[in-house]
């Protein structure tokens, strides 16, 4: 009879030593973690008190040593011309900013809608900050009040008023 309480205490002690929290089985990232991260954030890009762009992203990860910033979980960018006038809105699934040059790459479901009513759709788009131009070698589709053009490759101003599409297919509607 005296052994039964001792066995009961030992059994409870062994059961209490069971591992309650299991270690993660997810692989660790192979690169260094970001130096800064933020979620659901707005960033204003300006130069000499002049707003160039307003960026909203679901997740922002800054890699200071490598001098780039990754954007994902939805991107929304309002673009402004050198006079501070709003020109267009860009949306995409994810992107990357080269911090030194302020050049920007947008990927997956990229849509640019200009204030003049022209819409650009592609899967990959690059913004050259020094030139103030957007370009891509990917498939593009542009819809405006007078045109519906498809092609592979594009160079344009950010307001989509002056663009050049390469390997074009599409149709143009003459105005009456």
Domain-located, residue 3: no
Domain-located, residue 9: no
Domain-located, residue 44: yes
Cβ–Cβ contacts within 10 Å for residue 94, how many? Answer: 19
Domain-located, residue 56: yes
> Given a cut of 80, is residue 159 above it in pLDDT?
yes
Domain-located, residue 4: no
Domain-located, residue 11: no
Which among 75, 143, 157 has a CA at the least distance from the CA of 108?
A: 75
Q: Which of residues 12 and 137 earns the better pLDDT score?
A: 137
| Cα distances (angstroms) measured from residue 94 to each of 90, 133, 151, 172 | 11, 19, 23, 32
CA 132/CA 5 separation, integer angstroms:
81
pLDDT tens, position by position, 33-91? 899 999 999 988 888 888 888 999 999 999 999 999 999 889 999 988 888 899 999 99
Q: Which of residues 140 and 22 earns the better pLDDT score?
A: 140
Domain hosting 154: range is 33-172
Domain-located, residue 26: no
Mean residue pLDDT across the chain = 84
pLDDT at 82: 81
CA 37/CA 123 separation, integer angstroms:
25
> Given a cut of 70, is residue 30 above it in pLDDT?
no
CATH code where residue 95 lies? 2.60.450.10
Q: State how many domains the chain has.
A: 1
pLDDT at 161: 87
pLDDT at 172: 57
Q: pLDDT class for 102, splitting at 50, 70, 90?
A: confident
For range 149-158, the mean pLDDT: 91
pLDDT at 14: 57
In sequence order, the β-bridge partners of residue 104 are: 97, 127
Domain-located, residue 58: yes
Q: Which of residues 146 and 172 earns the better pLDDT score?
A: 146
pLDDT at 131: 85
> Given a cut of 60, is residue 155 above it in pLDDT?
yes
pLDDT at 53: 87
Q: Which of residues 131 and 23 earns the better pLDDT score?
A: 131
């Amino acid at each position: 009879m005296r052994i039964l309480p001792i066995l009961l205490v030992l059994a409870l002690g062994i059961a209490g030593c069971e591992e309650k929290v299991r270690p993660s089985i997810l692989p660790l990232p192979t690169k260094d973690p970001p130096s800064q991260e933020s979620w659901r954030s707005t960033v204003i890009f300006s130069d000499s008190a002049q707003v160039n762009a307003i960026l909203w992203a679901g997740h922002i990860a800054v890699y200071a040593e490598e001098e780039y910033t990754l954007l994902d979980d939805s991107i929304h960018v309002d673009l402004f011309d050198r006079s501070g006038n709003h020109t267009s809105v860009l949306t995409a699934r994810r992107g990357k900013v080269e911090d030194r040059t302020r050049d920007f790459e947008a990927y997956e479901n990229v849509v640019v809608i200009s204030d003049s009513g022209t819409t650009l759709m592609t899967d990959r788009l690059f913004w050259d900050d020094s030139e103030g131009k957007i370009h891509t070698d990917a498939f593009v589709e542009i819809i405006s009040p007078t045109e519906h053009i498809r092609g592979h490759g594009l160079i344009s101003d950010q307001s989509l008023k002056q663009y050049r599409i390469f390997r074009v297919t599409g149709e143009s509607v003459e105005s009456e």
